[in-house]
Every structure is written in structure tokens, then in C-alpha cells.
A and B are shown apart, each in its own frame.
Chain A
Amino acid sequence: MNKLPLYVFVLVSTCLLFTACVKDTDFDQAEAISLTPIVELDLIYFNLQANRFFDSINSNPILTVSDTTDIRFLDDSSLQEYLKRADFYFKFTNSIPRDFQVDFQFLSETNDTAYVAGTAVSQGTVSTPVLTEFTQIVEGEDILRLTQANKVVVSVTIDSSAQNLEGNLNLKSKTTYYLEN
């Protein structure tokens, strides 16, 4: 039997398969691959009328009003793992001639306080609303606490109230999430 074709075939195959290589590469670098997206997301907003701070039936001032909402994505296990920093930005526009204290209490599923933040809001007038901006940067150990929370209680406290009080307190807010894996 003519062995020549076999030799040629083996030679060509060998050249093809054994000269093939992957070089000048370092696949261990895969360990260093890191996604670091920065995500901007709206948080909560409200419009509180001045008359919400006075019980006209009983003629009593209501100094603190509060409301609660779930924010269930916050204690998601992926977010717990990847969230490195969160910047909360609150923008108040106040046309009520009163100062306010606004507190944000982040609660865990078992209603334990995980994280708190708060700010004073300056008084304004109906004709000249006053802007108060407040930024809370959460990072390091605080992130671990924050990501235990899955709801937030917002308490708005007015320093004093009256029946004829006018204007409203507006809040717009967002969070910047710095993620990294």
C-alpha cells in the first residue's frame, strides 16, 4: 500500500494542530474583570399641603405626619453583594412659612432600624418658595446596614402649626447607586 498519502496527511495535520497556540495572553486577568455601573434612580416624592398639619375638626395642630413605603429591592441579596455606595439626594421646595425637620428611617423586614437620615428644611413663603437640598452619602459599614432595610418611614415635623397656614412642602428625591462586582 502506498504510505505516502498517510505521511503527507499526518504531516499537514500535525502542522495544523500542533502549531496552533494561544500566546501573549493571560486569562487569569478574568479575575480582575469588574463591572462598575453607576445607576441613577428616582426614590420618593410628595406634595404636602399646609392644612395637613392642622386638625380642623378638633382644632388641634398636627406637628408630625408620617408615611411608610416598602423599597423591597434594597435588601435584595444581589444588591447587598454589589452595592458599594449610595448617594441620596433630597430636594425640598417649601412655600409654607415654617421650618421642618424631615427624617428618613430605614427599617428591616422585622422593623428594626437599619439606617437613619434626616435634615432640617427652611421655611419659605407662598410667593417665594425656598429650596433646601440635602445629600446623604452612604458607604462602607453603613452600606451593610442600609441594605438590611426594605422599607422607609418618612416623618415630617413642623415646628408649629395654625389653621390658616398656607403653602406646601414638595419633595423630589433620587438615589445614585454605585455598584461593583
Chain B
Amino acid sequence: MHYLFTYILCFVGCLAISQNKQILYGFDDIPQSLMLNPGLNVTQKKHFGIPLLSQIHFNGGATGVTAYDIFKSGNDDINDRIRRKIFEMKSSDFFTATLQLELINFGWRAKNEIYFSGGIYEELDFISYFPRDLAILAWEGNQDYLDYPFNLGEISTTGDLTTVFHFGANKQISDKLTVGARFKIYSSMFSFRSVNNTGTFTTRLGGSDSENIYEHIVQNADVTVETSGYAPLRDLDGSSEVTSEIFGRALFGGNLGVGVDLGFTYKIGDAWTLSASALDVGAIFHTKDVETYRAHGTYTLDGINLVFPPLSEGESTFPYYDDLEDDIAREVSVDTLNTTYTQFRPLKLNVALSYGFGRFNSSGACDCLNMGGEQLYRQNVGLQLYTIFRPRGPQLAGTLFYHRRVTNFLSAKATYTVDSYSFKNVGLGVSADIGIVNLYLAADNLMSYGNLAKAKSVSLQLGFNLIFDEE
């Protein structure tokens, strides 16, 4: 058990609002910024991501707790620290992790000036809210919590392993406006979710007319776990079989879904630019290998009522324990359903307002980063807002940024982000072009790099592309 606990905490500690790529958004020197706003001003003629290396994105975090909070060196007992944290944390705190690995990414500007782009990426996305009451029950037991209704509704978690195939188009339709859209096909390899649960568990001291000392009451319980892709894994033997079965579904073998990304960039006057995007407006239709487990009901447990029946020699008494189990199973039934379900993708919204100054290429040298022919600024400052819709509602993040084209070949973007995790998230991204090879690296929460154990969240993106500009 404590290994599990350790793994969870290490996972959290070593790992920004999940999926927020605030550094990459609007960073037009990097082709992958087109994945965050299909309506971005594209500066290159074509690009080709180095397969498997064009974007490696990792993002993880936890609100309310860091690895340092639990594992800091000190003389106090680790169990006291865990206990303190369990009581400090709220049921709205969450743990989250996202991994994205691009398999292919490419794009080119066609003769009609539309920039087409497409590719495939794998995405692992996980979130779990902190089930505080159940953590207290597991840590402390019920002895000190008589009459306290432990809330089963605090269970809220989702996890998905998905392959995404995408193809998009981007066009500057006037001097001021660029729009874009990306069509996506999702192939869900594995998915689970347990949300919108209800119910309480209470241990109450019985009165004089009660059957026994306590009444253990499960009240209006309705806990559901929906899974897809899990049922065929149950009978497999060993992790290698499970892995090969899951990844065998990567190419359209899973449950399919569709979605779109939409975005635009609009220039307001000479210096101001407004951009926005909506990502993953879509759903996955889980129709095969679907299993839903649902436990629901109300039950009061009093213990076992012995009736001392008169028995003949060799006759056995009532099967009290079996009857009790049957009663519980009848009153709080656990059903396995194969009902298909539709899962909406976590919708993400980005909005940014930026102010550009200092004409780039004022020296008259080759304007290699500006093949669209429009004005690029040497420096941009602005504000970005990000929202992702999660099971308990939207999570918000606000970012102030500074983007500078240092040379024709080098650009950098610094960010300061306020989100659910912290008020001191500073990030930095660098994009460098060496010949046609573009390298980029973006990481946030830099102030925590001195001691990652104190970081509530870490986000990292890096990748390699080939970028071809017009001669």
C-alpha cells in the first residue's frame, strides 16, 4: 500500500494546468504553435517534423501538495505530514498529467496560399480530484468520525489514451484576418471515467431501540465507473500482452470520435493583435469493449442477527453470513452494463492580446522568418487566457508574455502564469533555426527548477522540425 502511495507522490512531484502550453501558444517560429491555434499567422513555406521527435510534451501537476511537503528531510514523522496534508487539502484539489508524443507533423503552403498541415499524435491524459473524505476514512478509520457522512461523490477521475489524426487548413483572408480549422479523428485505445457520483457512508451510534451498537449507513449511493477498452484486457496474461493489445488499437482500432479545432488571428491597427482558438470541440463514441460498473442503493448494516433456532442433530443453522451478503448485494447492487456512451473531449479555449513593437528586419537583411510578407515585430508583449473544461468545471490560467526575435535564427518567449497551482510560474521557450533544422524547448515553473520537489506543476515541450522558407 505504501508503495502505491509513494508512486503517486513521486509521480506528482516529478512531474501547470494540464495541457496548457502557454509558452508555445502564439510562438509562431515553432510549427507546433499551429496545433494551439489553427488560425495562426504561419511564417514558413513548409515544415516537416522529425518523426517521433517533433513534439514531446509532458505536463503534470497537483494542487495542494508537493513532493517536498511529504518527503522533505526533517525529524518530524512522515505520517504526521501526510495526515496534515490530507486534512489541509480540499476535495477540489486535483492531480493531473498529460503526455503527448507527435508521431508525424507536416505542413505546406499550397498555390492558393492555404497552409495545409496534418499529423498524428498520441495523448495520455489523466486527472483525479482528491477524494478527501475517503482519504480520511482510509487513513483514520471511522472511530473518530461517528455521525460524519463520508462523501462518496468526491470520487471524480478520468483517464484516456488516445491517438489523434488531424488535418487542418490555414489562410490569411485579408490584411487583418487569418483563420484556420483542423479536423481531428480520435481513436481511443483506453478510457475510464468516474464522475457525477453521489452518496454518503455514515457510522452512527445506535439508540436504545437500535438493533445493535452502531448503524453503518450507505445512503443514496450511486457510483459509476465507465470503461472502454478495458474488458478485453482482463483475461490477458502479463504486461507485454496488455501493452501490445492497447497499442494494436492505435491505428483506428479503438473507439472512434471526431472533433475540430478552430482559430483566428486579427490585427487591430498597426501594433495590436487579437487571437483565439477552441481546441478539441468534439466527442468520442465509445461503442465497443465498453463496460460500465454501477453500484447504487441505500443500506443500513447492523451486524449479524442470531436467532438460535431449535435444531435437530446434524441440522445446520441459518446461513447468516450468506444472507447478509445477499442483502447487501440486493440493496446496493453492483451492475455491469455494456451501454455505449459518448465522451466529450476536454474543450480548451485560448485567447491572446498582444502588442508588437520594433519592426523586425528593419536592417534590410533577408526577412527569412516572414514569408507571408506581412510585418513582423521584433518584440511582442501581451496577455493570454486559457481554459480547459474538466469534470468539476473549467480550470483557468492567465499568462503575461514577452516574445522577442533575437536574430533571424533565434527567438525566445518568456511567460508569467497564474493558475490553480501557483502565482509564481515563470516559463521560458527558445526556438533556434540551424539551417533548415528547427529546435525548440519550452519549460515553465523555472523558479522551481532549483528544487523540483517544491514544484506543484511542471510542463515541458521540446521537439525538432525541418522548416523550409521560401527562396
Contact indicator A65/B308 (Cβ below 8 Å): yes
B110 CB-CB contact with A under 8 Å: no
Whether A37 pairs with B138 at a CB distance below 8 angstroms is yes
| Residues of chain A contacted by B6 (CB below 8 angstroms) | 27, 30, 33
| Complex contacts, B213 vs chain A, CB 8 Å | 42, 89, 91, 172-174
Interface stretch (choices A67-75, A109-117, A119-127, A136-144): A67-75
Contacts of A44 in B (CB 8 A): 303-306
Structural contact, A6 and B434, CB atoms closer than 8 A: yes
Answer whether residue B283 sits at the interface, using C-beta atoms and an 8 A cutoff: no
Main secondary structure of the interface of A (DSSP, over half): mixed
Count A interface residues, CB 8 Å: 59
- In the assembled complex, how far is the CB of residue B109 from the closest CB belonging to chain A, in whole angstroms? 24
From B210, B308, B320, B322, residue with most partner A Cβ within 10 Å: B308
For this complex, 15 residue pairs linking A to B, each with C-beta atoms less than 8 Å apart, are: A2-B409, A9-B432, A20-B452, A21-B450, A22-B452, A23-B453, A25-B68, A25-B72, A30-B5, A35-B138, A45-B306, A52-B308, A71-B304, A172-B213, A173-B213
- Inter-chain CA distance A173–B412, complex, in Å, is 71
A48 interface residue (CB < 8 Å to B):
yes
> How far is B211's CA from A172's CA once the two chains are assembled, in angstroms?
7
Q: Which residues of A contact B (CB under 8 A)?
A: 1-6, 8-9, 12-13, 16, 19-27, 29-46, 48, 52, 65-72, 89, 91, 154, 156, 172-174, 176-177, 179, 181
Q: In the complex, which of the residues B82, B317, B410, B432 contacts A33, with contact meaning CB atoms closer than 8 Å?
A: B82
B125 to chain A, nearest CB (A): 24
A1 and B13 CA atoms in complex are apart in Å by 41
| Residues in chain B within 8 A of chain A (CB atoms) | 1-3, 5-6, 9-10, 13-14, 67-68, 71-73, 77-79, 82, 137-144, 146, 203, 206, 210-214, 216, 301-309, 316-317, 319-322, 406-407, 409-410, 412, 428, 430, 432-435, 439, 441, 443, 446, 449-453
The interface residues of chain B lying within 8 Å CB-to-CB of A176 are 143
14 additional contacts, CB 8 Å, given A2-B409, A4-B407, A23-B450? A6-B432, A6-B434, A8-B410, A9-B432, A20-B452, A22-B13, A24-B453, A27-B10, A30-B78, A32-B78, A67-B306, A67-B317, A69-B317, A172-B212
A30 to B407, CA, bound (A): 49
The reply to whether B79 and A32 form a contact with Cβ atoms under 8 Å apart is yes
A42-B212, A45-B302, A67-B317 given as contacts; is B67 within 8 A of A24 (CB)? Answer: no
A156 to B180, CA, bound (A): 83
Known contacts A19-B449, A23-B453, A24-B451; is A5 also within 8 Å of B433 by CB? yes
Q: Which of B14, B307, B407 contacts A46 (CB 8 A)?
A: B307
Contact among B212, B435, B441 with A174 in the assembled complex (CB-CB below 8 Å): B212
Contacts A5-B433, A35-B139, A65-B308 given: A42-B73 contact, CB under 8 Å? no
CB distance from B452 to the nearest CB of A (A): 5
A34 to B138, CA, bound (A): 11
Q: Which residues of A contact B302 (CB under 8 A)?
A: 42, 45
Bound Cα distance A38, B146 (Å): 12
B412 contact set on A, CB distance < 8 A: 12
Which of B307, B430, B439 has its CB near the most chain A CB atoms (within 10 A)? B430
- With A25-B71, A32-B77, A71-B321 known as contacts, the answer to whether A66 contacts B308 (CB < 8 A) is yes
B67 touches A35 (CB 8 A): no
- Tell me the complex Cα distance, A66–B309, Å: 9
- On chain A, the residues within 8 Å of B139 by CB distance are 35, 37
Q: List the 8 shortest-distance A-B pairs measured between CB atoms, nearest first.
A: A42-B303, A37-B141, A70-B321, A5-B432, A30-B6, A33-B2, A9-B432, A38-B141
Q: How far is the CB of B114 from chain A (nearest CB, A)?
A: 30
B410 — which chain A residues lie within 8 A by C-beta? Answer: 4-5, 8-9
Q: How far is the CB of A10 from chain B (nearest CB, A)?
A: 9
Docked pose: A172 CA to B67 CA in angstroms? 46
* Cβ–Cβ < 8 Å partners of B71 in chain A: 25-27, 29-30
Whether B321 and A69, one on each chain, are in contact in the complex, defined by CB atoms closer than 8 angstroms, is yes
In the complex, chain B residues whose CB is within 8 Å of the CB of A45:
211-212, 302-306
Q: Is the CB of B449 within 8 A of A20?
A: yes
Q: Are B2 and A43 closer than 8 Å at their CB atoms?
A: no
A62 to chain B, nearest CB (A): 8
- Residues of B within 8 Å of A5, CB to CB, are 407, 409-410, 432-434
> With A and B bound together, what is the CA distance between A5 and B144 in angstroms?
63
Enumerate chain B residues within 8 angstroms of A32, measured Cβ to Cβ.
Answer: 77-79
Question: With a CB–CB cut-off of 8 A, which chain A residues contact B142?
Answer: 38-40
Q: How far is the CA of A1 from the CA of B409 in the complex (A)?
A: 11
Q: How far is the CA of A32 from the CA of B211 in the complex (A)?
A: 41
Contact B2 A68 (CB under 8 A): no
